[in-house]
Structure 1
Amino acid sequence: MSETEKDELIDAQKQVIGILFEVIKRLQANSDLDEEYFEIITKEEKDESRLNEILTQRKENAKIVGRLLEQLET
């Protein structure tokens, strides 16, 4: 394997690691949002605006995770 090929392989590995790190970060954020969501819905007085924010953030994280995983397929 030539030096150029080794460098390309190392760069590809770094990209994969970066993508996986971002995927894990987004999934953890959604997990944290889930916890907050369930805490809010169990209260008598529900903060509807925060619930909507949480749902929006979760959807955005899910979209980003989907795009990142698509990048790994190529």
Structure 2
Amino acid sequence: MSEKSKDELIEAQKQIIGILFEVIKRLQANNDLDDEYFQIISSEDKSKKERLEKILIEREENAKIVGRLLEQLEI
């Protein structure tokens, strides 16, 4: 294997690792948001409706980013 091919392979591996790291980070963020969401839902404090809406928006954004990142891996 030529030196150039080895360098290209290493670069591709770095990119894949970076993408997978970002996917894991976003999925973990959604898990954390789920925890907070369910804590708010189960509480008696119904005044936190605005925070619930923000959580749902952030979760959706994270899911879209994860989808785009996974599409990059398909290429």
TM-score by length of structure 1 reads 0.99
1:30-60 per-residue CA deviation (whole Å, 9 max, x = no partner) reads 0000000000000112200000000000000
Q: More helix by proportion, 1 or 2?
A: 2
Q: What stretches of structure 1 of length at least 5 have no aligned partner?
A: none
Q: Between the two proteins, what is the percent identity of the paired residues?
A: 74
Q: How many residues align?
A: 74
Q: State the 4+ residue runs in structure 1 displaced beyond 3 angstroms.
A: none
Q: What stretches of structure 2 of length at least 5 have no aligned partner?
A: none
Q: Which moved more, 1:42-51 or 1:5-14?
A: 42-51
| Partner of residue 40, structure 1 | 40
2: CA distance, partners of 1:14 / 1:68: 14
| Partner of residue 19, structure 1 | 19
1:1-74, aligned counterparts within 5 Å? 1-46=1-46, 47-74=48-75
